[in-house]
Amino acid sequence: MNDMNQSKARKLLAVFAHPDDETFICGGTLAKYAAEGVEITLVSATRGEMGRRMGNPPYLNRETIAAAREKELQAACDSLGIGRLMFLDIRDKTVEFIDEESLTARIENLIQDIAPDVVLTFHEKLGGHPDHCSIGKATTAAYHRARCKGALYFISFGDRMEHPEPYGYAPEDILKIDVSDHLESKLAAFRAHRCQSEIDEWVWLPDSEALDRFGKVEYFINGDASAPILNSGDLFQPAGSRPVMAGVNH
Ligand SMILES: [Zn+2]
C-alpha cells in the first residue's frame, strides 16, 4: 500500500473486446486499483453491437444497441473508477478478420504513449470468444514489440485458474487479487450494463444477496514468460523485476 505515496501515478492499460468484459471478468480488480489512485485506460475494440442480449424485455435493436452499450460502458467505468475509455471502432464479432498487423500497430502506439505499468488483455487461446482471442493476440504482440517495461497479464473467467494445470499453467503463473472490498463497485457496474445483465435475476436482488454471488478473488495469468511473478497478490510488480529487453515471444 506504500505505492500510494509514489509521486508518479501507476498506470494500467486494459485492452478488451466488448463493453462488459471489464466488469464481468475483472471489475473488482479494476475498482480496487482505481480506488488506490491507479490511472486506468480501458480500450474496448468494439461496441458490442452484435450482442444477443437486447434488454429484458428487449428494448434495443441492431440500430440502437451500439450507442446504448457505449453509454452503459461509460456508466460502468464511472462505477469502477476508470478514468479513460477508448474504442478501436471495430465491428463486433469481426476482430478476427481485422488486419492483424495494423491492429497490433495501433495497440503498440497506445502502449508507447501510455507506458503502462500493467497491461491486461485476453489469452489468445483461452479467451473463449473469437473477438477475445484476437484482441488478446494482437495486444500480446504489441506488448512485446513495444518492449513494454510493465507487466502483462491475461484475464480469466471465474475461478477456473484455481487449478491452472489443465490449461498448461503452474500455480506460480497465477496471480490472485482479493477484491472483497470492491464488490459494491463491481455490482454497480454490472447494473450499469443493464441491457446485458437485466436478464440475470440475481444481479437485481437486494444488494446483500447479489453481492454474495461474487467470488472474493479474481485471477490473472502471467502473460510474460520472461518475467516470473515476484509479488503475488498484486498486479504491480517490484521495480526492477522486469527484464530490460522484453523480447521473449513465447
Ligand atoms: Zn466479451
Provide the 3-class DSSP secondary structure of residue 12: strand
Distance 231 CA to ligand 1 centre (A): 28
Distance 129 CA to ligand 1 centre (A): 7
* Residue 232 lies inside a defined structural domain of this protein: no
* Residue 236 lies inside a defined structural domain of this protein: no
Segments in the chain below pLDDT 50: 1, 3, 6, 246-250
Quote the number of domains for the chain: 1
Residue 240 has what pLDDT?
A: 66
Residue 39 phi, psi (nearest 5) = -85, 115
Distance 155 CA to ligand 1 centre (A): 12
Residue 244 has what pLDDT?
A: 53
* Residue 235 lies inside a defined structural domain of this protein: no
**CATH classification of the domain holding 81:** 3.40.50.10320
Residue 239 has what pLDDT?
A: 73
Distance 170 CA to ligand 1 centre (A): 26
Distance, in Å, from the CA atom of 59 to the CA atom of 41, rounded to the nearest integer, reads: 30
* Residue 2 lies inside a defined structural domain of this protein: no
* Residue 103 lies inside a defined structural domain of this protein: yes
Distance 21 CA to ligand 1 centre (A): 5
Distance 132 CA to ligand 1 centre (A): 6
Residue 157 identity: F
* Residue 244 lies inside a defined structural domain of this protein: no
Closest among 155, 128, 152 to 140, alpha carbons compared: 152
Listed in sequence order, the residues at least 6 apart from 193 whose beta carbon sits closer than 8 Å to its beta carbon are 19, 20, 23, 24, 69, 72, 73, 76
Distance 10 CA to ligand 1 centre (A): 26
Distance 110 CA to ligand 1 centre (A): 21
pTM: predicted TM-score of the whole model, two decimal places:
0.93
Domain that holds residue 39: 9-222
Distance 92 CA to ligand 1 centre (A): 9
Closest among 196, 152, 170 to 18, alpha carbons compared: 196
Residue 7 has what pLDDT?
A: 58
Distance 149 CA to ligand 1 centre (A): 27
